[in-house]
Amino acid sequence: MVKVFSLLKNPTKINGAKVGTYAIVIVSIAYFFVANGGYIAGGNGQNSSILDVLSNTEKPFHKIIMTNFGDTWGGTYFHLITISKLAMVIVLLGAYPLQLHPTRDSIITFLSIIFKNNIFRNNPRVVEVLITSIMTITVFIESLYKIKYIFVMKLIASTASCYIMFTLPSIAYIYSQNKVKLFDYTSKGILIGSILFSICSTYLLLHEK
């Protein structure tokens, strides 16, 4: 939200509140269609997309709608599935930048610490575009494969969560000015341990049957 607020033509508190309100309204409408329709169609414990459940003609929900409303009105009702899919696209398009910006900035900060190169300062826009492009292409390629949700969550835990909670804070302390020797050694131990944990857990995850 801070990033969005800074990009406003007139970044006042009122305009910032308007943007936030509009975003919440759009997302709420989208989730209302998707969530309520999905639960009515299939109940709890779904193992596939709610929208796929809604569009499944073999589900009792589909047959009930068509029987009670007929082909015309029933078919019109199921156009809501298309609207829901469009709504989900809007939600994802809005959510992706919110995840992308901090991730991109973290990568740039991490690389600047390792390489200590002025390229990150002299050409910040080029670096931002390059990192953003690489991340976007990577996500797009991954979306072409059928990846299980549980696999994604485990991968996040062994990489991103591990780095954010342990690796990056320890690096920040190691490179800080005023350090205590005990905490310095502790930070180095946490750094080594978190990296080893990430490598081992990711390796086991990738080779999990």
* pLDDT 10s digits, 44-86: 555 666 666 666 667 677 777 778 877 777 777 777 667 777 7
- What is the pTM (predicted TM-score) of this model? 0.43
Among the residues of the chain, which ranges form H helices? 2-7, 13-42, 50-55, 60-77, 79-115, 119-122, 124-143, 149-156, 162, 168-174, 181-206
| Per-residue model confidence (pLDDT) at position 34 | 65
**Mean pLDDT of the 16-28 span:** 76
Q: What is the pLDDT of residues 94-108, one digit of tens each?
A: 666 767 777 787 777
Which residues have C-beta within 8 Å of that of residue 74, sequence separation ≥ 6? 65, 66, 67, 68
Cβ atoms of residues 22 and 3 within 8 Å:
no
What is residue 180's predicted lDDT score, i.e. its pLDDT?
85
Tell me the two tokens of residue 174.
Answer: 């190691």
Euclidean distance between CA atoms 152 and 144, whole angstroms: 14
pLDDT in the model for residue 23: 75
Q: Is the pLDDT of residue 193 over 80?
A: yes
Whether the predicted pLDDT of 1 surpasses 60: no
Q: pLDDT (tens digit, 9 = 90+) per residue, 143-174?
A: 777 777 677 778 888 887 788 788 888 888 88
End-to-end alpha carbon distance in the chain: 40
- Measured distance CA(36)–CA(41) in Å, rounded: 9
- Measure Cα distances from 143 to 41, 138, 146, 147, 182 in Å: 26, 9, 7, 8, 45
In 3-state terms, what secondary structure has residue 46? coil
Evaluate if residue 6 carries a pLDDT over 60: no
Residues 6+ apart with CB under 8 A from 198: 158, 159, 162, 163, 167
pLDDT band per the 50, 70, 90 thresholds, residue 200: very high
